[in-house]
Amino acid sequence: MFNMDTIRRKHPFVSIVVILGVLFVCSWLAIKVFLALFPSAEQGQEFFGSGKIGVVEIRGLITSAEKPIRELTEFRKDRQIRAVVLRIDSPGGAVGASQEIFEEVKRTDRIKPVVASLGSLAASGGYYAALGARKVIASPGTLTGSIGVIVKFPNLTEIFDKIGYRSEIVKSGKLKDIGAMNRPMTAEEKALLQDIIDNVHQQFVKAVAESRSLSHEQALTLADGRIFSGEQALKLGLIDQFGNFTDAIMVASKLAGMKTELPPLVYSSEKDFSLLRLLVGNSGETTWQNLSALYPTLSYELNFKP
């Protein structure tokens, strides 16, 4: 017959293991019940004041969304990260990349607050990326806006004529070589490209209207490509408030319910590396601009030059 007293006397080690096992199970169940009742305590945000803020930087021309998406995903999954500040200093860039970042920012903000901090310049695709954040903060002198789409094709016919260059093209359809550098663009080609530009432009307008709680008509009047100062943008409803990077951190901390205004910041541990950057250094962006002139790309990009 099973007798616990007999087991304790003859096998004290076994009884200790049993007691410890019972205590472990009870503790585990108690923690589970506690977290179910107070889910915010899983990150310590209400009871211990712990937590950090992740910082994602978007600087220069936006040519790829890979790095910002990777960092946003990491911070979204990291339980120690309570909020994210998206620091933007960019004239914009490729349409697809800007839209990808925008969607990932929205996805992250549904789980933990994201605050966009606009630096000296956050225009076109740079502003598009910020639209996914819960709050958009800028300085009065920040240049932003430039809500529009552009695509540029070089016309080198005069140069080709001078050097005697000729090209022979074999194509499957009459529009396959649209934008060819060795001839003027036809009216049909211009009309086709304009339809694409208008469609992508409407996508930008829709994102502005929905993210900034504006009517489609209000957003459309602001979407003629013009730039705004931060002060103008605030009056027009394109940003939420004035502030610098530190202010953005404090706003993010408050939105996350953190006990300190300036919690520790975390930057992505994985450094951005590319062979192109290693070879050309900071001139990599200029190189991209030169290449994009030869291989046109739809861009949400502020253009100071023709």
Domain-wise residue ranges, the chain:
4-37, 44-149+185-301
- Kindly list the catalytic residues: 124, 176
Q: What is the pLDDT averaged over residues 8-30?
A: 62
Average pLDDT over residues 281-295: 47
pLDDT per position as a tens digit, 113-138: 999 999 999 999 999 999 999 999 99
Q: What is the mean pLDDT of residues 59-65?
A: 94
Query: Count of residues for the chain?
Result: 306
**pLDDT band with cut points at 50, 70 and 90 for residue 301:** low
Residue 303 neighbours by CB distance under 10 Å: 15
User: What is the pLDDT, as a whole number, of residue 42?
Assistant: 44
Q: Where are the alpha helices (DSSP H) in 38-65?
A: none
Report d(CA 7, CA 39) in Å as an integer. 41
3-state secondary structure of 212: coil
* Reported confidence tier of residue 5, pLDDT bands at 50, 70, 90: low
Which CATH number applies to 44-149+185-301: 3.40.630.30, 3.90.245.10, 3.30.70.1900, 3.90.226.10?
3.90.226.10
pLDDT of residue 91: 95
Contact 99, 64 (CB under 8 A): no
pLDDT(189) > 80: yes
Q: Which two tokens stand for residue 25?
A: 């199970």
Residue 45 has pLDDT above 70, yes or no: no
CA triple 287-289-294, angle to 5 deg: 100
63-67, 163-167, 211-215, 293-297: the lowest-pLDDT one: 293-297
Residue 145: name the closest of 70, 226, 52 by CA.
226
Distance in angstroms between the alpha carbons of the first and the last residue of the chain: 95
Q: What are phi and psi of 93, to 5 degrees?
A: 165, -145
Give the pLDDT band (50/70/90) at residue 157.
confident
d(CA 263, CA 195): 48
Span of 154-158, 187-191, 261-265 with lowest mean pLDDT: 154-158
CA distance 68 to 104: 9
Query: Sorting pLDDT into bands at 50, 70 and 90, what band is 296?
Result: low
Q: What percent of the chain has pLDDT over 90?
A: 59
Nearby residues of 293 by Cβ (< 8 Å), 6 or more positions away: 152, 154
| 147 vs 275: which has the higher pLDDT | 147
